[in-house]
Amino acid sequence: MEVSKISKDKLPKDSYEEFEKASKDKNQEKYVLRLFVSGMTSRSIQAIDNLKKICEETLHGRYDLEIIDVSQQPGAVRKEDIIATPTLIKELPIPIRRIIGDLSDRDRILLALNLKPKEKE
């Protein structure tokens, strides 16, 4: 099977424009994040602070963040199968991801949120 290269000049104009729009839309995806904490412990506060900093620096207002205190909403633990806190669930964009811990490993969080490309080994 032969693969040929097509320059943007040879693509129908609307196809190239659609590609450009889709590419830009990918960078504008809205993130839906839910952070489960247990009370206002130092670990919970650290996770909240770490996540807010990452969101403000990388998502520039393109996110919805819900913070759920499982001590106030115990039903959320069963509904979401939370086994430890803090737990971050990235619901959108898909795929869904779960991250457990205080979110202090910035590179790991960025990679899990698909905000940083995997490094080649």
Which domains are assigned to the chain? 30-112 (3.40.30.10)
Non-local (6+) Cβ contacts of 13 within 8 A are: none
Mean confidence (pLDDT) of the chain? 82
| Residue pLDDT, tens place only, 22-32 | 444 455 789 99
Residue with tokens 């963040």: 65
pLDDT band per the 50, 70, 90 thresholds, residue 104: very high
Rg (Cα) of the chain, in Å, rounded?
Answer: 19
User: 41: which DSSP letter?
Assistant: -
More confident residue, 7 or 87: 87
Statement: residue 99 has pLDDT above 80: yes
**pTM for the structure as a whole:** 0.72
Q: Which residues pair with 66 in a beta bridge?
A: 34
What confidence tens digit (pLDDT) does each residue in 83-98 have? 999 999 999 999 999 9
